[in-house]
Amino acid sequence: MHKHNWVFLLILSSAIFFISCNDKPVATKGAIVLGDSSNIVTEKDASLLQDQVEDLKPQIPAPAPHKDTQATPIVTKDTAKPAPVAQAAPAPAPSGTGLKADFTEVSILIPNVVAKQAGNPNLSNANGAVYSYESGQFQGNVLRASGNISKVSMRYQSIIVLKCDAGTLPLDKLTTTTSWEPLKGGNGAWPITGLQESQLDYEEGNGNEIKRAIQVACQKRRFSYNKTQEFLQAVKHVKATNQRPLIISIRSLMWKVDGKDNQGKLFSKQLRVDYPM
């Protein structure tokens, strides 16, 4: 090998050896010890300590009220008071002729009906009055009443009556009484309806029940055996209480008038009209 090449290799080897001798291993600091204050990094640059995310300020809308929820109005001094509801003027006392009952709280009239009052004619302290029918029509008529009336109701008692050549015989065992039903009307007038024979409620019965009712009615009136047989013979083919010669008839009519007197006290007055049998 050439002399100069050996010199170059010698110098290069010496340089490499020198660098490797000065290359010391980096010392490790070991594991981080919990609570060791020397491991706490303290940053003094204020710009690095600022939050990098904006504070959340959510806008949460208030829950919508339920459809069935009604807001309670706030009452203030300026809240306008509702206008008072106009009350209907009390009906004046009815005038005219007919079946009339003058109570302290209310006067009642059914025009063009003749009926004889039973008992004390002075009704000032009474709650009801009873009459015996003489003439006139109730069906299609009008009950008139004075004062502050809230409701007028009616009911009746029907009876099965046998009408034949032997005579007229009310069958007391075949009667029925209806419930109170309010009449439609107002302003002092309530039309009377529902009293036609085809509209009446009645006691139902078969042939045997009809014959038994005839026997009881004849015994009550002390009819003879032959008279009783005449009535029984008239219904020998009858199977129901709504068949001829049986008829459905009214035995008693009743009305109830409810309202308030001049002092605002509630009252209830009744009328009853009995048909002679």
Q: What is the pLDDT of residues 35-58, one digit of tens each?
A: 444 444 444 555 444 444 344 344
- Output the CA–CA distances (angstroms, integers) from residue 196 to 90, 139, 140, in the order listed: 32, 7, 10
pLDDT reported for residue 237: 95
Decide if 203 is inside a domain: yes
Provide the mean pLDDT of the chain: 80
Q: Which residues of 10-36 are buried (b: 16+ CB within 10 A; e: fewer)?
A: eeeeeeeeeeeeeeeeeeeeeeeeeee
Structure tokens at 203: 């006691």
- What DSSP letter does each residue of 11-77 carry, written as one string? HHHHHHHHHHHH-PPPPP--SPPTT-GGG------GGGSS-SSPPP----PPPPPPTT--PPPPP-T
pLDDT reported for residue 31: 45
The more confident residue out of 56 and 17 is 17
**154 within 8 A of 136, measured Cβ to Cβ:** no
277/212 Cα distance (integer angstroms) = 19
The answer to whether residue 191 scores a pLDDT higher than 80 is yes
Which residue range forms the structural domain that includes residue 217?
Answer: 98-274
pLDDT reported for residue 10: 55
The answer to whether residue 65 scores a pLDDT higher than 70 is no
Decide if 265 is inside a domain: yes
Decide if 7 is inside a domain: no
The more confident residue out of 167 and 54 is 167
Pinpoint the alpha helices (H) of 155-255: 207-220, 225-234
pLDDT reported for residue 138: 97
Decide if 32 is inside a domain: no
Decide if 141 is inside a domain: yes
154/133 Cα distance (integer angstroms) = 16
226/167 Cα distance (integer angstroms) = 13
**213 within 8 A of 231, measured Cβ to Cβ:** no
pLDDT reported for residue 12: 57
The answer to whether residue 81 scores a pLDDT higher than 60 is no
155/133 Cα distance (integer angstroms) = 16
Q: What is the mean pLDDT of residues 83-96?
A: 63
Kindly calculate the radius of gyration of the chain based on its CA atoms and give it in whole angstroms: 54
239/251 Cα distance (integer angstroms) = 23
Q: Render pLDDT for 101-120 as a digit per residue (tens, 0 to 9).
A: 999 999 999 999 999 999 99
pLDDT reported for residue 68: 46
Overall domain count for the chain: 1
The H or E element containing residue 141 is none
Decide if 14 is inside a domain: no
> Predicted confidence band at 96 (pLDDT cuts at 50, 70, 90)?
confident
87 secondary structure, DSSP code:
P
pLDDT reported for residue 103: 96
Of all residues in the chain, the percent with pLDDT exceeding 70 is 68
Decide if 33 is inside a domain: no
Count the neighbouring beta carbons within 10 Å of the beta carbon of residue 232. 16
Helix (H, G, I), strand (E, B) or coil at 227: helix
pLDDT reported for residue 91: 76
Decide if 58 is inside a domain: no
Helices 225-234, 207-220: axis angle to 10 degrees equals: 150
> Predicted confidence band at 261 (pLDDT cuts at 50, 70, 90)?
very high
